[in-house]
Amino acid sequence: YPDRIKSGVEGINLEECGNLSFTKPNHQIFPCLNLAYEALDAGQAHIITLNAANEIAVNAFLHKKISFTQIYTLVRGVLDTFKSENPGDIESIILLDKNVFFYIEKILYAQVLRTLHKRACASQPSAPGCARRSAPAVAQRGCTVLRFLQHYAFHFLCVLVQWPKNS
């Protein structure tokens, strides 16, 4: 306001709508509504975290990175993880928003790596890391981060180039 972008949609005339009826929301069907109520009770930091997490989760859903039902799980996990003080200035708000973004991106990246690992092992069970142990087992055995990433990089490249090629 006052400079609004034209949406191409006319406003709603409630006189022309006829009867409108409202019912109490079903919190089992709409679990994210509970998150909003919790955020309102918890304070500004929680509201900012909820907004950022929801925005990123919905974007991930729209880009087919997660399923619809994973939106709630992802946002719930972020809200359970981030316990911040209410921000006192705009820099704190921006920092909290960025921290939530990077946290969720890390979770989504890990999901992609797990999926690639499963696909590569399914297509090439004798590939390094598939026959002897799974990726979580590699991590549990105390392998270095570099070796762990090399394990996933091998699988990623196999999927990328579709190796071994079917003859």
Q: How far is the C-alpha of 145 from the C-alpha of 68, rounded, in Å?
A: 31
pTM above 0.75, yes or no: no
Confidence of residue 23 (pLDDT cuts 50, 70, 90): very high
For the chain, percent of residues with pLDDT exceeding 70: 72
Helix (H, G, I), strand (E, B) or coil at 2: coil
Cα–Cα nearest to 138, from 125, 146, 129: 129
- Amino acid making up residue 74: L
Q: How far is the C-alpha of 108 from the C-alpha of 57, rounded, in Å?
A: 9
pLDDT computed for residue 20 by the predictor: 84
Q: How far is the C-alpha of 58 from the C-alpha of 63, rounded, in Å?
A: 9
pLDDT computed for residue 40 by the predictor: 92
Helix (H, G, I), strand (E, B) or coil at 24: coil
Q: How far is the C-alpha of 81 from the C-alpha of 74, rounded, in Å?
A: 11
- pLDDT per residue over 109-136, tens digit each? 887 777 777 777 777 666 666 654 455 5
